[in-house]
C-alpha cells in the first residue's frame, strides 16, 4: 500500500477502525520519503528499522484495544532533539557522529504515546538561520518551488509535513524557527509559551528563548500533538507547572465575543504587497466569523526586537556552544597542543553563521561592552514583555503576518546576513516576550504560501487554537496540497 496521505485525526480513526494497520501506514510514508526526499532534502536520518519496530508494537496495542489517539501515527523529529542511539547532528559537522545516550523529554513522550518515528529532519546548523541553507549537510528545498527556501531553522520538519513524508513533526523555535517555515510551506506550526514544553534533551541555542512545538497539517492535529508534548518536567528548571488542558476542547468554529488586535508595527516597511493583501483578506474573514477587530493597536517597542534578539541570542549561544571543545564529545581536531586542538576543532567544526553568532555574543558579553549591549538589551526586553502584557489586558489575541515576504530564492540572501535576519522580524518579538504564537496557512500568491500569525497570552494556547480553528474551517488554504 503506498501514498496514504492523512492527518493525525484521520490516521487515528483509520487505525482504530482497523481499515489500515500502523505497519501499512508506516510503509506508505517510508515509500513516500524514498520517492520525494531526493528532491526536497528534508531528512538527515531515516529511521526505517526503528519505525517498523514501533509500528509492529502499535498494531499489537491496537489489536488488544489499548491504543491512544496517536498510537501508530508517523512523526519526524528535528535533529536537535536527542534520540537515544540515533544520530543527533544539529546539522553540524561538530556533531555529525553524535549518538545521544538518552532521549529528549518530548521524544520520551512521543514514544510513551506509541507514535512511530520515521526520521530526523534537516535544519540550520544549531538552529541558527532562517532558510535551512546554513545546514552543514545539505540545503532543504521548498516543495512549493524547489528553487526557493523552506524557511528555517525547522525547515526540514516543515517540508516533511508539507511534502507528505510524515503525518506531523516536532520543531524548535528560538526566533521564529517553527512559525516562519510553517508560513513558507503552508503548514500549521506553534511555538508554545516559554516553559510549557520541556527543553530537556534539546540541544541548546539560546536557553531563554528556545521552545519546542508541533508542525502539523491542520489545527486539530496541532492540538492533538500539543496534548502529548506539553507539561512540566523537573529536569528542566524553566518548565512551568501549569495545568495542561485538553486542547481539542477549545476548537470552535465561530469567534463571537473575541477581541483581536492588529499591531501596526508588524506591517513593516518593505513588506511585499501580496502579503499585505492576503492579511487584509484574512482579517476580514476573522471579522465575518464574529470577532471584534481593532486595527489601530500599537506596540511601539517592536522595532527594537530585532536588535535585542541579535544581542541576547548570540550571547547565550556563545556561552552554550563553549562546550564544544573537542574533548568530551563531538568533532575533534588532532593537533600538537591543547590550545591548537581547541582552536582548530572550533574553526573546522562550526559553519560560518554559527561562528558569526558566537563572535557577536562573545563581543556583547566582553568587559567594557556588557553594560552597553547585553544589559541594555535585557532592559528593552522587559519593555517588550510589558507591552505584550498591556495589550493582552484589552485583546484576547493579536493578528500579524508570519513573514513580511513570500519564500525567497535559495542563495538570494546568503551574502547579506542583515537581510536574512529581517526574515524573522514578525516572529522575534514573541520569543523575547515568552508568549505563545502560531502560524496557519492564509493564502497564496503565484503559487507561493503566505502565513498568518496568531499571538496569545502566556499559557493561553487555547485561545490561539480557537482563532486558528475558526479561520481554518472557514477557508480552504490548509486543504491545498503540493505536488513534488
Residue numbers annotated as active site? 78, 153, 177
CA-based nearest residue to 319, from 283, 364, 280: 364
DSSP state of 169: E
Q: Which residues of 248-278 are buried (b: 16+ CB within 10 A; e: fewer)?
A: bebbeeebeebebbbbebbbeeebbebbeeb
Backbone angles phi, psi at 331, to 5 degrees: -60, 140
Q: Which residues are CB-contacts of 171 (< 8 A; sequence separation ≥ 6)?
A: 78, 121, 154, 157, 158, 177, 178, 181, 189, 212, 213, 214, 215
What's CA 425's distance to the chain center, in Å? 16
CA 199/CA 212 separation, integer angstroms: 7
CA 437/CA 457 separation, integer angstroms: 9
C-alpha cell belonging to residue 352: 560560518
Are the C-beta atoms of residues 194 and 202 closer than 8 Å to each other?
no
SS3 call for 106: helix
CA dihedral 440, 196, 220, 483 (to 10 degrees): 50
Amino acid at each position: 500500500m503506498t501514498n496514504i496521505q492523512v492527518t493525525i485525526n484521520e490516521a487515528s480513526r483509520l487505525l482504530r477502525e482497523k481499515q489500515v494497520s500502523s505497519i501499512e501506514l508506516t510503509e506508505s510514508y517510508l515509500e513516500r520519503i524514498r520517492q520525494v526526499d531526493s528532491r526536497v532534502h528534508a531528512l538527515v536520518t531515516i529511521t526505517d528499522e526503528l519505525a517498523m519496530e514501533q509500528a509492529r508494537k502499535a498494531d499489537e496495542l491496537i489489536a488488544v484495544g489499548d491504543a491512544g489517539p496517536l498510537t501508530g501515527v508517523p512523526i519526524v523529529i528535528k535533529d536537535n532533539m536527542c534520540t537515544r542511539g540515533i544520530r543527533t547532528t544539529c546539522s553540524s559537522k561538530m556533531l555529525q557522529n553524535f549518538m545521544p545516550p538518552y532521549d529528549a523529554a518530548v521524544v520520551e513522550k512521543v514514544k510513551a504515546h506509541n507514535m512511530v518515528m520515521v526520521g530526523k529532519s534537516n535544519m540550520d546548523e544549531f538552529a541558527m538561520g532562517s532558510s535551512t541553507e546554513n545546514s552543514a549537510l545539505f540545503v532543504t528545498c521548498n516543495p512549493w518551488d524547489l528553487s526557493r527556501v523552506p524557511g528555517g531553522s525547522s525547515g526540514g520538519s516543515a517540508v516533511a509535513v508539507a511534502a507528505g513524508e510524515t503525518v506531523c513533526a516536532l520543531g524548535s523555535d528560538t526566533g521564529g524557527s517553527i512559525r516562519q517555515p510553517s508560513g513558507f510551506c503552508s503548514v500549521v506550526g506553534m511555538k508554545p509559551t516559554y516553559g510549557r514544553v520541556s527543553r530537556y534533551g534539546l540541544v541548546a541555542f539560546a536557553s531563554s528563548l528556545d521552545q519546542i512545538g508541533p508542525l502539523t497539517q491542520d489545527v486539530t492535529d496541532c492540538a492533538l500533538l500539543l496534548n502529548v508534548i506539553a507539561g512540566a518536567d523537573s529536569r528542566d528548571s524553566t518548565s512551568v507547572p501549569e495545568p495542561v488542558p485538553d486542547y481539542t476542547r477549545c476548537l470552535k468554529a465561530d469567534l463571537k465575543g473575541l477581541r483581536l488586535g492588529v499591531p501596526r508595527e508588524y506591517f513593516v516597511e518593505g513588506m511585499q504587497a501580496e502579503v499585505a493583501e492576503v492579511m487584509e483578506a484574512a482579517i476580514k474573514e476573522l471579522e465575518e466569523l464574529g470577532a471584534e477587530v481593532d486595527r489601530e493597536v500599537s506596540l511601539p517597542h517592536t522595532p527594537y526586537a530585532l536588535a535585542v534578539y541579535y544581542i541576547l541570542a548570540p550571547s547565550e549561544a556563545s556561552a552554550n556552544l563553549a562546550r564544544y571543545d573537542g574533548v568530551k564529545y563531538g568533532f575533534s581536531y588532532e593537533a600538537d597542543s591543547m590550545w591548537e586542538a581547541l582552536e582548530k576543532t572550533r574553526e573546522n567544526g562550526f559553519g560560518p553563521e554559527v561562528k558569526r553568532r558566537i563572535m557577536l555574543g562573545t563581543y556583547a558579553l566582553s568587559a567594557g561592552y556588557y553594560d552597553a549591549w547585553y544589559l541594555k538589551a535585557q532592559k528593552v526586553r522587559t519593555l517588550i514583555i510589558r507591552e505584550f502584557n498591556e495589550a493582552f489586558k484589552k485583546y484576547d489575541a493579536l493578528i500579524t503576518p508570519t513573514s513580511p515576504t513570500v519564500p525567497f530564492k535559495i542563495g538570494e540572501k546568503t551574502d547579506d546576513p542583515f537581510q536574512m535576519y529581517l526574515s524573522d522580524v514578525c516572529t522575534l518579538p514573541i520569543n523575547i516576550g515568552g508568549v505563545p504564537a502560531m502560524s496557519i496557512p492564509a493564502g497564496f500568491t503565484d503559487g507561493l504560501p503566505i502565513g498568518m500569525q496568531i499571538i496569545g497570552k502566556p499559557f493561553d494556547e487555547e485561545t490561539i487554537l480557537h482563532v486558528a480553528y475558526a479561520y481554518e474551517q472557514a477557508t480552504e488554504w490548509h486543504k491545498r496540497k503540493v505536488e513534488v
